[in-house]
């Protein structure tokens, strides 16, 4: 497999992974919670490094997952003790992120964990960081990690599809039906944390938010069916990655940044030209009403 091939595969995996999870975040109005978690994952990674003294993927995943769940839990806690919802998110994630940065500047100065890398990711280095097994090169570590998380996420989504769907669209009914709404909430938050940390190496903490939200939001403007939305969102995620990579290669700029920009552009197109929910379609519909007012 060529260098470019691995990058495209990594980007596409990030696109599919973030795209599918992102749909639920948008439907449940938890986009900013995802933003919070993708920031606090930093603390999880630093803590995992400090405790285990190694940069192995599995420790990072566990640490990130724990801190991600903790973030969701703290926000919930503040929320239920009467703090305004948006302020609760803001207080919790900035605090945990600040602690993460302080820990880095105190202890982890001379490791690979520089903050720049953490925020922006470096997908260009992914193909060189390969996994050796019995002397064979098995391809980049990041691809294995993303692949594993993708399979876990897909299994969880198919297992709990009905439950997630009902609790996303109608939480009251979900409670009435006896669906464990809280469990589903934390399940999703756990999936978001794991997704964030797996995508971390490639796209960094803040741009993973773009990959989480933009494809889902674009798909949301294009369809009214959840199953279609999930597939569309994954496709748009992959498309943003590929477009982003080639734009970045052409102008010789940050790949992750270009992926986020491409995702934003695709959203802009859907916002304007979506057949049903787009701005143009809406305006045409308005004009039709003005010309032939309904009786």
User: By the criterion CB under 8 A, which residues form the site for other proteins?
Assistant: 26, 29-32, 34-35, 39, 78, 81-84, 86-87, 89-91, 94-95, 97-99, 101-102, 105-106, 109, 115-116, 119-120, 206-207, 209-210, 212-214, 216-217, 220-221, 248, 251-254, 256-261, 263-264, 267, 271, 277-279, 282
Distance separating the N- and C-terminal Cα atoms of the chain: 64
What are the respective helix, strand and coil percentages of the chain, to the nearest 5? 80, 5, 15
CA distance 49 to 98: 17
The torsion angle over the Cα atoms of residues 107, 111, 116 and 119, rounded to 10 degrees, is: -80
Which residue, 79 or 131, is less far from other proteins as judged by CB?
79
Query: Minimum distance between the CB of residue 229 and other proteins, rounded to whole angstroms?
Result: 13
Q: Which is nearer to other proteins, 53 or 110 (CB)?
A: 110
259 within 8 A of 244, measured Cβ to Cβ: yes
Q: Which is nearer to other proteins, 32 or 181 (CB)?
A: 32
Which residue's CB is nearer to other proteins, number 8 or number 258? 258
- The nearest distance, CB 23 to other proteins, in angstroms, is 11
Give the C-alpha separation, 192 to 204, whole Å.
14
CB 237 within 8 A of CB 256: no
CB of residue 90 vs other proteins: minimum separation in angstroms?
Answer: 4
Q: Based on CB atoms, which residue is closest to other proteins, 10 or 254?
A: 254
Which tokens is 35 given? 């933003």
What's the min distance (Å) between Cβ of 226 and other proteins? Answer: 15
**Shortest spacing between CB 284 and other proteins, in angstroms:** 13
Query: Across-strand partners of 133?
Result: 136
The beta strands (E) that lie in 202-250 are given as: none
């Amino acid at each position: 497999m060529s260098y470019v091939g691995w990058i495209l595969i990594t980007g596409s995996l990030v696109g599919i992974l973030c795209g599918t999870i992102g749909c639920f975040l948008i439907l449940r109005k938890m986009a900013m919670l995802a933003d919070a978690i993708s920031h606090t994952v930093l603390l999880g990674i630093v803590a995992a490094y400090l405790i285990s003294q190694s940069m192995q993927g599995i420790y990072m995943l566990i640490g990130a997952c724990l801190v991600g769940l903790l973030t969701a839990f703290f926000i919930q806690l503040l929320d239920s003790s009467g703090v305004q919802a948006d302020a609760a998110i803001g207080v919790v994630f900035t605090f945990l992120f600040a602690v993460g940065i302080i820990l880095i500047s105190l202890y982890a100065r001379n490791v690979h964990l520089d903050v720049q890398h953490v925020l922006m990711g470096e997908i260009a280095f992914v193909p060189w960081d390969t996994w050796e097994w019995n002397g064979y090169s098995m391809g980049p570590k990041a691809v294995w990690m993303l692949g594993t998380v993708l399979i876990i996420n897909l299994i969880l989504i198919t297992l709990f599809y009905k439950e997630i769907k009902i609790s996303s669209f109608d939480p009251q009914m979900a409670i009435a039906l006896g669906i464990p709404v809280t469990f589903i909430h934390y399940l999703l938050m756990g999936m978001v944390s794991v997704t964030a940390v797996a995508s971390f190496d490639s796209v960094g903490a803040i741009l993973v938010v773009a990959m989480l939200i933009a494809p889902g939001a674009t798909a949301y403007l294009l369809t009214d069916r959840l199953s279609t939305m999930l597939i569309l969102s994954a496709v748009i995620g992959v498309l943003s990655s590929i477009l982003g990579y080639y734009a970045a290669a052409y102008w010789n700029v940050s790949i992750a940044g270009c992926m986020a920009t491409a995702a934003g552009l695709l959203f802009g197109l859907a916002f304007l030209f979506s057949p049903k929910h787009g701005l143009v379609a809406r305006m045409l519909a308005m004009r039709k009403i003005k010309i032939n007012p309904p009786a």
